[in-house]
């Protein structure tokens, strides 16, 4: 018989807020995907120039992952993350001014501003991982990580129709101004409501004990380790582990699909499938919703396997492999003429990709406890290198061939490499220990 008060459920509010912030995070990455056709036409940019602008975010985002993770380990998530939201929102809003200031090259200015957005967003996902490690016991981390990771799909469900409507009725610049304003408000909300478990005013002792006894790092945000997280021996430890390298390769390949979706997919619908920009905004929301549902199912499935006594390997790898097999369906769009069927197949592919999106849960399971931020930063650096490569490669393919067929084959191939990384390279999942 249970005695004493029941545990509060503050951790569910925390993951809900992380989900909303991550939804905004991905929507800000996708602004140029929605506004890009109209902006490119007005500013006179071709496919290759558009590809480079779409990649600008990822150049900075990738390069800043290790410094961003180290800052989180040193100064805590709340301060760094809240500041990052405010700064990236200001740079998002600034993109709406491109072309209005005489003497500034539009392509160079857009590249620079999207580069700065990527720089500011760098601490976001390592920050999410730290909060999940602090707030959730091991048996709930798969679902919690899947919830915030599924925001990448929900962002287009929530914002693609809005951004498409803004472009259609008010012009492409309005997208950047609206998203920037929403972001400034989000930064204030985050700063007000995010605290570590041991400092949150609404949590009770029963929930704190539930988290701590289940493996949650409840003092992560308040007891700062003065040992520097970023040292070259620590980085070397991560980069010489076969398990970690396999995980990094898998995340890179998964993100090829992610970045195709958040950069070129709406443009593909306009240029290759004949939709107008408002139709593309609404059409993009359908596979996004499928990816969102797949993400939730993948996390729940993974934690369910653990709850039934399955190994950590089976719990994380089985959904991942099954999801990536489904994601290869994207190649089928090469031979499909029907717009409706294209959306259906894309939805199946992104549903599979959502199921497979367990990389952040894996990181919470295997990262050294004192290097959660740095480990997440290195992981996200590798994963988001796909954001540099994918938009440029797709742009070059489209410019050279006049269609997206080989681009879709490029994406599908990476789904298969993901499976190989987790089944042939990673080996048994275990927490990586720091040397004494």
| Region of residue 357 (left: phi > 0; alpha: psi -120 to 50; beta: else) | beta
Q: What is the DSSP string of 121-163?
A: HTTHHHHHHHHHHHHS-HHHHHHHHHHHHTHHHHHHHHHHHHH
- With a cut of 70, say whether residue 368 has pLDDT above it: yes
pLDDT range class, residue 159, cuts 50, 70, 90: confident
pLDDT range class, residue 1, cuts 50, 70, 90: very low
Question: Helix (H, G, I), strand (E, B), or coil: what is residue 401?
Answer: helix
The answer to whether the CB of 4 falls within 8 A of the CB of 206 is yes
Q: What are the residues whose beta carbons fall under 8 Å from the beta carbon of 286, sequence distance 6 or more?
A: 343, 346, 347
Residue that is written with structure tokens 């800052």 in the block: 71
| pLDDT for the residue 229 | 58
Instruction: Give percent of the chain with pLDDT exceeding 90.
Output: 33
| pLDDT for the residue 324 | 97
pLDDT range class, residue 2, cuts 50, 70, 90: very low
CA angle 122, 162, 106 (to 5 degrees): 60
pLDDT range class, residue 223, cuts 50, 70, 90: low
Over range 364-373, report the average pLDDT. Answer: 78
Over range 97-112, report the average pLDDT. Answer: 79
- Taking the C-alpha atoms of residue 61 and residue 28, their distance in angstroms, rounded to an integer, is 13
Residue 434 lies in a domain: no
- With a cut of 70, say whether residue 436 has pLDDT above it: no
Q: What are the residues whose beta carbons fall under 8 Å from the beta carbon of 338, sequence distance 6 or more?
A: none
pLDDT range class, residue 172, cuts 50, 70, 90: confident
Instruction: Give percent of the chain with pLDDT exceeding 70.
Output: 95
Cα–Cα nearest to 365, from 145, 209, 37, 167: 145
| pLDDT for the residue 337 | 87
| pLDDT for the residue 228 | 55
pLDDT range class, residue 224, cuts 50, 70, 90: low
Of residues 226 and 279, more confidently modeled: 279
Residue 253 lies in a domain: yes
Over range 380-392, report the average pLDDT. Answer: 86
Residue 408 lies in a domain: yes
Cα–Cα nearest to 150, from 309, 268, 304, 323: 323
Of residues 266 and 346, more confidently modeled: 346
- Taking the C-alpha atoms of residue 188 and residue 173, their distance in angstroms, rounded to an integer, is 24
- Taking the C-alpha atoms of residue 278 and residue 299, their distance in angstroms, rounded to an integer, is 32
pLDDT tens per residue across span 290-331: 988 998 899 889 989 988 889 999 999 999 999 999 999 999
Return the CATH number at 281: 1.20.1250.20
The answer to whether the CB of 194 falls within 8 A of the CB of 19 is no
| 433's tokens | 């220990």
pLDDT tens per residue across span 231-278: 778 888 889 999 999 999 999 999 999 889 877 887 888 888 877 767
pLDDT range class, residue 230, cuts 50, 70, 90: low
Mean pLDDT of the chain: 86
Cα–Cα nearest to 299, from 152, 146, 149, 137: 146
Q: How far is CA 228 from the centre of its chain?
A: 26
Residue 154 lies in a domain: yes
pLDDT range class, residue 227, cuts 50, 70, 90: low
| pTM to 2 decimal places | 0.76
Residue 432 lies in a domain: no
Domain limits at 115?
A: 10-425
Residue 359 lies in a domain: yes
For 16-26, b where at least 16 C-beta lie within 10 A, e where not — what string?
Answer: ebbbbbbbbbb
Residue 436 lies in a domain: no
Residue 157 lies in a domain: yes
- Taking the C-alpha atoms of residue 30 and residue 34, their distance in angstroms, rounded to an integer, is 7
Q: What are the residues whose beta carbons fall under 8 Å from the beta carbon of 82, sequence distance 6 or more?
A: 187, 190, 191, 194
pLDDT tens per residue across span 403-423: 889 999 999 999 999 999 999
Number of domains in the chain: 1
| 102's tokens | 């005489």
| pLDDT for the residue 167 | 85
């Amino acid at each position: 018989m249970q005695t004493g008060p029941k545990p509060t459920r503050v951790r569910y509010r925390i993951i809900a807020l992380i989900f909303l912030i991550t939804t905004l995070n991905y929507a800000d990455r996708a602004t140029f995907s929605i506004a890009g056709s109209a902006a490119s036409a007005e500013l006179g940019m071709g496919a290759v120039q558009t590809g480079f602008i779409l990649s600008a975010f990822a150049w900075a985002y990738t390069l800043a992952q290790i410094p961003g993770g180290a800052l989180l380990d040193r100064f805590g998530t709340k301060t760094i993350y809240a500041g990052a939201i405010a700064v990236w929102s200001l740079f998002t809003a600034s993109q709406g001014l491109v072309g209005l200031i005489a003497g500034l090259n539009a392509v160079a200015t857009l590249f620079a501003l999207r580069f700065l957005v990527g720089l500011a967003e760098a601490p976001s996902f390592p920050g999410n991982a730290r909060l999940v490690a602090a707030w959730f016991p091991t048996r709930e981390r798969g679902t919690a990580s899947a919830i915030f990771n599924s925001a990448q799909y929900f962002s287009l469900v929530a914002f693609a129709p809005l951004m498409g409507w803004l472009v259609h009725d008010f012009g492409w610049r309005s997208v950047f101004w609206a998203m920037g304003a929403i972001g400034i408000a989000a930064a204030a909300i985050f700063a007000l409501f995010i605290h570590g478990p041991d400092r949150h005013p609404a949590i009770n002792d029963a929930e704190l004990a539930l988290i701590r006894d289940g493996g949650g790092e409840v003092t992560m945000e308040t007891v700062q380790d003065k040992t520097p997280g970023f040292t070259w021996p620590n980085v070397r430890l991560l980069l010489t582990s076969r398990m970690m390298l396999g995980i990094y390769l898998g995340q890179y390949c998964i993100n090829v699909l992610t970045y195709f979706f958040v950069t070129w997919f709406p443009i593909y619908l306009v240029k290759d499938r004949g939709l107008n920009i408002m139709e593309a905004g609404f059409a993009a929301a359908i596979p996004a919703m499928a990816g969102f549902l797949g993400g939730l199912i993948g996390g729940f499935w993974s934690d369910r396997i653990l709850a039934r006594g399955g190994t950590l390997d089976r719990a994380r790898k089985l959904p991942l492999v099954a999801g990536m097999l489904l994601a290869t369906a994207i190649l089928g769009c090469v031979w499909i003429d029907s717009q409706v069927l294209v959306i259906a197949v894309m939805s199946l592919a992104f549903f599979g990709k959502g199921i497979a999106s367990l990389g952040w849960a894996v990181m919470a399971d295997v990262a050294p406890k004192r290097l959660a931020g740095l480990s997440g930063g290195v992981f996200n650096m590798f994963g988001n290198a796909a954001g540099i490569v994918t938009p440029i490669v797709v742009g070059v393919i489209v410019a050279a061939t006049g269609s997206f067929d080989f681009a879709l084959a490029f994406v599908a191939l990476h789904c298969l490499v993901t499976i190989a990384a987790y089944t042939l390279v990673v080996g048994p999942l275990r927490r990586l220990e720091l040397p004494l």
